[in-house]
Structure 1
């Protein structure tokens, strides 16, 4: 059985990706910080899912989660690094704590996950996908921390693509625009119908996995096809 490790997967994009992978016969470990949420999500995914409480900012927690995955599934074919947070506001009002929360989750957390998973992914000639954002190339007022984390994540992902390619590991950065998720305490509704849906990114994930081994889409930008007119 192929297997995947998906961070930030109790809801939204991460859950949709995990659900699609389970549907394709993968064993999937999902992580999130909230114990009840990750357990409930794993139960909804079924017997081939393992839910692990993990704050990706915590090196020891990441390594423990990867060990739990290996014990359950023996190997790993995909790391989908999705966990992310957003803190927004003018830079002069941004607290050091909020800055660190964003950078440590969105950037350092991905580094910790990649480092912990590389051995398993090299053994399977697997795949790393990072969930970045168009905010990683398009800055906006109030986005100092978030923009910095996603600009950094794009650079990090491009660099590790070069590091890991000789090991047979593919690396892709996925950069969506507006997505209908619970990000930043948003509750999706019918008003979000024009946005990219989590299941759209799940389908993209499966499409990337089905690419011929010789071909690597290393950067994928995704936008709503018909954004509302202003």
Structure 2
């Protein structure tokens, strides 16, 4: 994985926020990047803002294994390989467990947890071929529980456990697996509108730089679980 120029990455939830920040960094470093999501217009706008020649927008809902299989098929048809997969798509609903709706619970389980499985399952044959890298974007909520976070905590604890077990399963195939666990990031998550008030937070491109650092690392070394948080939360 040392020479990443023209390598191919697939990022779910790539039209904005952390996914777009990762795409920006990887494209700048010379990689070819596919981004997916459910909003075709937003995906095309994101691709145009980056590099239309090196970025492929794909409409895919990670809750559907068939969608993810079609996305991987499209990537392989265009570029013939898949080297890096970043399972980033996620949703959050926050309320006390006694008022958490079944619909919101299912949305989070299906997107945040089943989605990372679907993405990996669809990409595994190609990742075995390339001896590539699979990265999940979890959260500090994957180890730190909080009031009104029962559903979200359940999914992110699950993502961390799933990813670490997958890491052990896939090492024999030469596939590296890591999970990134960010704290507060300046995104649209949970109806936030990013602006000057978010200057103290991690920025999406910071997560992109972290992904790039992982890809550059010597293949003998694997940071399998990375916690990252704002340096100065007291500035908020």
Do they fold alike, i.e. is TM over 0.5?
A: yes
Structure 1, unaligned runs of 5 or more? none
Instruction: Say whether residues 1:122 and 2:128 are aligned partners.
Output: yes
Instruction: Say whether residues 1:69 and 2:72 are aligned partners.
Output: no
Instruction: Identify the residue that residue 192 of structure 2 maps to in structure 1.
Output: 186
Distance in 1, Cα, partners of 2:207 & 2:214: 10
- Number of matched residues? 230
Structure 2, unaligned runs of 5 or more? 1-5
Distance in 2, Cα, partners of 1:123 & 1:59: 20
What do you get for the CA RMSD once the two structures are aligned?
1.0
Instruction: Say whether residues 1:54 and 2:38 are aligned partners.
Output: no
Find the partner of 1:2 among 7, 17, 22.
7
Distance in 2, Cα, partners of 1:66 & 1:9: 15
Secondary structure in 2 matching 1:220? strand
Instruction: Say whether residues 1:29 and 2:34 are aligned partners.
Output: yes
Shift of 1:44: 1.4
Distance in 2, Cα, partners of 1:90 & 1:192: 26
Distance in 2, Cα, partners of 1:66 & 1:184: 29
Higher relative contact order (CA 8 A, sep 6+): 2
Secondary structure in 1 matching 2:170? helix
Distance in 2, Cα, partners of 1:109 & 1:211: 27
Instruction: Say whether residues 1:149 and 2:155 are aligned partners.
Output: yes
Q: Deviations over 1:132-173 (max 9, x none)?
A: 000000001111110000000000000000111100000001
Instruction: Identify the residue that residue 3 of structure 2 maps to in structure 1.
Output: none
Find the partner of 1:40 among 36, 45, 49.
45
Mean alpha-carbon deviation: is it higher for 150-159 or for 176-185? 176-185
Distance in 2, Cα, partners of 1:20 & 1:197: 12
The two structures have a TM-score, normalised by structure 2, of 0.95
Secondary structure in 2 matching 1:31? strand
Instruction: Identify the residue that residue 13 of structure 1 maps to in structure 2.
Output: 18
Which contiguous aligned blocks of 4+ residues in structure 1 show a shift greater than 3 angstroms?
A: none
Shift of 1:15: 0.5
Distance in 1, Cα, partners of 2:207 & 2:123: 22
